[in-house]
Structure 1
């Protein structure tokens, strides 16, 4: 099995004393930007997805109910409880076993029988990170190709080079027992000679490079014989105008009988409507809005009218509560930096995780947190989605999540969902002031769960919340 790719070195942060921390943060190029600019986490969702793939140590079963929409509601709907029921090639079963898969996850139970069926079924599927969606579409690609034929038969696109590399790793592991399997990486830095067509059966890459290879000047990737086209992180991809246009042009070049699969952790309604335009007659799998996670989380709020009162409340809480590990969410990078500097000055061990770090640095930081080497993580929304750390029993919203001065319900749910995971109890505390109290009221009303007032100066109240 061969692969065309480029190697990227990784960087890792080391612990620094307070003066070095302050110096690094103050001299950061990010610090010279306006606050409006630094608040824009343009790659946040794509980078967060990469972090999840880098750090995922196991499948996380999603207890959300699934909604299925089909073009023909009367057609039979199948599910599978065992991979052995899918009539897979033996070498693919061996690959699944080698990767530690013993039975299909919920998304795989529903999606695999449909996408592995003949004739091929197009699919739009929503599934949270860690539930096996990458394995599902990797299995679909490897099931569709013929390794005796030396031309591209499967194309998979992801928003970033790093995500494409992670998918490539999954496909390589799953296909490790397939003879003559070759994979090409259509990523930045892989320069291809003009007009020499690829002989790899699977092509995985980013939209820009794939477009250059197929529809633009290089002309090495023929779309004419593709059997399956996969769009991963579809909400990120088609929410960006450049990627959106490229996806449309690539889809227009696909054979009429090419199977199209879109997978994503989240779908907003405008995005799913766009997806329907580029995927013909799809089966749609969506997750019903589920608040099951909130059942395990006690929610509180503390009135704080300034950074100083927030900081005092924070230190009071940590001084009285027995906390395994905690995540503190800030709305801006500046607030996160200021908080880390202040905590470090006061001798409180913590780490900063924000979008100004390279993805590999963030992965190293989260790995230290997961291993328990770091107990307190101060972050922006970069870790709000899907990072699984078992021992987090406290989440603090130093700032409420906002979207154009309105409550960001989805981000709030993902933030506090970092605690109360896997059926364990957790605590979420929100710091609010006069200007944001109405935001908190809307959040409580939206989720139908009470958020109780907490006096951070009252030791008895603080001690009770962990009981």
Structure 2
């Protein structure tokens, strides 16, 4: 799979996850450092292939992420005899009474909840490993939290619990420690959260038309491998996709309102490089791993419900570029009144986000050097 040596998180976490007797773990690590491969290995190593029922459960917040994790597990597990993966995601409907023989089940909370309690397709008491990926959002969002906790409550006391994310705010970490017995904790200090391999810039724009012109100037000046453009609303994402398509660019649009089949198709086309640009909302801010992505554009800065800068989402978004320590570029389009958000992000991550004039083509061309 191209791993020559373990990344820092793999080196630290794997001995804990594979120890006997099993140990619980709450782990934080930068985007793109191989967390999925680490817990995929842990699940594969705990499975007893002779027993044909679900033994490992992995929960993730989105359909795309669940499928991506499953693909990593399948790729790593292809040399393990008789180990199978089942996807508990919207669109994969199993009739009541179905016997699931696959030992690893990966899914989203709502569907998995139905499978466990309504349809009784799996016996949660027999689960030996429970993984919560993007654990901070699974704990921080009320509906996800209720669903995750419901599943967690019926697990056997001997079940190994593994919680992973790139970001853990203190209240979330405290809650995680309450639900995970005697956990090992791998936590990054705030100063370790800066993404040094990603150069960050901002443009000051009046409106969305202004932002669009700046985007076209980036296109004209920089060799775009593949890019992800984040919008705060579905409406803006649609508008932008239409503008770029009308200007002859090959773009994909991904938002939560698409069917799961369409979402899977869009991600696959982008992975295969058939489309160079993916326009999306926060549905893709976490975990989506496409190695060729070199540029992330925040068409709108991520904000929370009180219109403050959403630091975690910013970190996850720009972490889509610069996977595994590669170089990446992040461009932020900012209205004048939102400039304090940029300064807040700089202060929070102790990083530098440099101002660029979108009309200064010469300066834009120098960025690649």
Do both proteins adopt the same fold according to a TM-score greater than 0.5, normalized to the shorter chain?
A: yes
| 1:230 maps to which of 131, 150, 156 | 131
Counterpart of 2:222 in structure 1 is 322
How far apart are residue 402 of structure 1 and its match?
1.8
Contact 2:31 2:323 in 1 (8 A): no
How far apart are residue 280 of structure 1 and its match?
0.6
Counterpart of 1:191 in structure 2 is 95
How far apart are residue 395 of structure 1 and its match?
4.1
CA distance in 1 between counterparts of 2:312 and 2:12 reads 25
Segments of structure 1 that go 5 or more residues without pairing to the other structure are 1-98
1:452 and 1:154, CA in 2 relative to 1: closer, same or farther beyond 3 A?
closer
CA distance in 2 between counterparts of 1:247 and 1:346 reads 44
Give the 5 Å matches for 1:45-444.
Answer: 103-128=5-30, 131-149=33-51, 153-159=55-61, 164=66, 167=69, 170-171=72-73, 174-176=76-78, 181=83, 189-193=93-97, 203-208=105-110, 211=113, 216=117, 221-289=122-190, 290=192, 293-294=195-196, 296-299=198-201, 301-319=202-220, 321-325=221-225, 326-369=227-270, 371-389=272-290, 394-403=295-304, 404-419=306-321, 426-444=328-346
- Match status 1:453 vs 2:355: yes
Instruction: Answer with 116-125 or 130-139: which moved more.
Output: 130-139
Give the 5 Å matches for 1:33-44.
Answer: none
1:248 and 1:387, CA in 2 relative to 1: closer, same or farther beyond 3 A?
closer
Q: Secondary structure at 2:195's aligned position in 1?
A: helix
The C-alpha deviation readout for 1:176-219, integer Å capped at 9, x for no partner, is 5555656666666223339xx877655555545655565x4655
How far apart are residue 393 of structure 1 and its match?
5.1
CA distance in 2 between counterparts of 1:168 and 1:379 reads 22
Q: Secondary structure at 2:16's aligned position in 1?
A: helix
The C-alpha deviation readout for 1:395-423, integer Å capped at 9, x for no partner, is 44332222231112233334444445566
1:349 and 1:280, CA in 2 relative to 1: closer, same or farther beyond 3 A?
closer
Contact 2:31 2:319 in 1 (8 A): no
Contact 1:156 1:203 in 2 (8 A): yes
CA distance in 2 between counterparts of 1:107 and 1:276 reads 19
CA distance in 1 between counterparts of 2:181 and 2:245 reads 55
Instruction: Answer with 451-460 or 438-447: which moved more.
Output: 451-460
Contact 1:294 1:420 in 2 (8 A): no
1:406 and 1:212, CA in 2 relative to 1: closer, same or farther beyond 3 A?
closer
The C-alpha deviation readout for 1:275-295, integer Å capped at 9, x for no partner, is 212211111122334355345
Q: Secondary structure at 1:287's aligned position in 2?
A: coil
CA distance in 1 between counterparts of 2:73 and 2:259 reads 25
Contact 2:198 2:330 in 1 (8 A): no
Contact 1:293 1:421 in 2 (8 A): no
CA distance in 2 between counterparts of 1:200 and 1:362 reads 24
Contact 2:254 2:266 in 1 (8 A): yes
Q: Secondary structure at 2:336's aligned position in 1?
A: coil
Indicate the structure (1 or 2) with the bigger Cα radius of gyration.
Answer: 1
Contact 2:194 2:350 in 1 (8 A): no
How far apart are residue 265 of structure 1 and its match?
4.1
How far apart are residue 367 of structure 1 and its match?
4.8
CA distance in 2 between counterparts of 1:124 and 1:414 reads 18
> TM-score if structure 2 supplies the norm length?
0.77
CA distance in 2 between counterparts of 1:430 and 1:361 reads 28
Counterpart of 1:11 in structure 2 is none
CA distance in 1 between counterparts of 2:173 and 2:329 reads 33
CA distance in 2 between counterparts of 1:133 and 1:426 reads 19
**Across the two proteins, how many residue pairs are aligned to each other?**
364
How far apart are residue 360 of structure 1 and its match?
4.8
Segments of structure 2 that go 5 or more residues without pairing to the other structure are none
CA distance in 1 between counterparts of 2:251 and 2:86 reads 41
Contact 2:64 2:264 in 1 (8 A): no
CA distance in 2 between counterparts of 1:210 and 1:413 reads 28
1:177 and 1:123, CA in 2 relative to 1: closer, same or farther beyond 3 A?
same
